[in-house]
Structure 1
Amino acid sequence: MSNTSVLAPVAGRAVPLSDVPDPVFSAGMVGYGAAVDPPREVIDAVAPVAGKVLKLMPHAYVIMTPDNVGVLVHLGLDTVALDGEGFTTHVSQGDDVAAGQKVITYDVPAIEAKGLNPIVPVVVMDQRDAEAITPAEAVLEGAVIAHGDGLFIAAT
């Protein structure tokens, strides 16, 4: 067993995953983790862990750590329908990234203008045990955090 520290990919108010208004995320169907409600401005989303960009879409990305822990960052809810509008990628699928490295620029006001929720769920892919996730104090308190701050620790 090892622990993987997962950083906040964006600044904003940290929230428990159970508070995300989408059952795919709130019920842990994709995996468990936490979320960040971002500021209403154009922001940079960074890698929450170091590793390889396993999957890169304009609205979401998965980073695979050297320990084979896949961390999904999903920028907003139902944003796949935007076909990349409001997102600018800065890395390519297959690239190695450092924790905190800029991955995507996220136009939060453009997402809200489309009537979509800009919240950013961050989950460990295929993690079926909610008890394996230890949220940071900021998540439990609903505190405002900076990108790169600790979001949760995953026991893997």
Structure 2
Amino acid sequence: MTTVTSPLTGRAIGLADVPDPVFAGAMVGPGTAIDPVREPSEAIAPVDGIVVSLHPHAFVVVDSDGHGVLTHLGIDTVQLNGEGFELLVSKGDTVTRGQAVVRWNPAAVEAAGKSPVCPVVALEATADSLGAVVESGEVAAGDALFSWQ
């Protein structure tokens, strides 16, 4: 079983409340979302593993069980073309849970007209393979968000 932890400090809101129909409908996969605190911060790895996809606005870490976890920093933030995001690792790097992956500023994302809400998604999973999904309340970076069978 894999425990997926929060890449950010903020408030858990659940995927259904993400202002994007693809994430809200769990079309990418099941999981939850974080409405981050509005200050410059570092998004950290939610699991130990290998960075298999890395963009300024999103990254995927695959753990030793082959579970891929997507962290998407804001909604429609691909349209910012990397502005305001700083990559701290490289694709192919091995990371440990809690290691900083991307530095960004949710307040700047919001000022640019985008939602800073961050889906954290279990890729190629089914909703019934996740347990203890946190969908409300305050969370700190590194707190458990869900378990994955």
TM norm structure 1: 0.92
Report percent identity of matched pairs: 48
Q: Any idea what SS the aligned residue of 1:31 has?
A: coil
Residue of structure 1 aligned with 2:6, choices 8, 28, 31: 8
| 1:74 paired residue number | 72
Q: What does the per-residue CA deviation read over 1:31-81, in whole Å, with 9 as the maximum and x for residues that have no partner? A: 111111001111110000000000000000000111110000000000001
User: How far 1:21 moved relative to its partner?
Assistant: 1.5
Q: 2:99 corresponds to which residue?
A: 101
- Give 5+ residue unaligned stretches, structure 2: none
Contact 1:33 1:135 (8 Å CA) reproduced = no
Name the aligned partner's letter for residue 145 of structure 1. V
Counterpart of 2:138 in structure 1 is: 144
The answer (yes or no) to whether the contact 1:135–1:151 under 8 Å persists in 2 is yes
For residue 47 of structure 1, what is the aligned residue in structure 2? 45
Q: Name 1:131's counterpart in structure 2.
A: 128
The alpha carbon displacement at 1:146 in A equals 0.6
Residues 61 and 73, structure 1, Cα contact 8 Å, conserved in 2: yes
- Tell me if structure 2 keeps the 8 A contact 1:16–1:35: yes
**By how many angstroms is 1:147 displaced?**
0.1
| d(CA) in 1 for partners of 2:116, 2:68 | 22
Shift of residue 135, structure 1, vs aligned partner: 3.4
Match of 2:56 among 55, 58, 65: 58
Structure 1 counterpart of 2:18, from 17, 20, 27: 20
Q: 1:124 offset after TM fit, Å?
A: 0.8
Secondary structure of the 1:153 match is strand
* C-alpha distance in structure 2 between counterparts of 1:135 and 1:71, whole Å: 16
Tell me the matched-pair count.
Answer: 149
Residue 130 of structure 1 aligns with an amino acid whose one-letter code is: A
- State the one-letter code of the partner of 2:131: T
| Unaligned segments of structure 1, at least 5 residues | none
Q: Write out per-residue CA displacement over residues 119-142 of structure 1, whole angstroms, 9 at most, x where no aligned residue.
A: 010001122x21222234xx24x2
Normalising by the residue count of structure 2, what TM-score does the alignment of the two structures yield? 0.96
* Structure 1 equivalent of residue 84 of structure 2: 86
Whole-Å separation in 2 of the counterparts to 1:135 and 1:36? 15
Q: For 1:103-122, what aligned pairs fall within 5 Å after superposition? A: 103-122=101-120
Report if aligned partners of 1:52, 1:95 keep a CA contact under 8 Å in 2. yes
Letter in 1 for 2:139: I
Q: What is the RMSD computed on CA atoms of the aligned residues?
A: 1.0
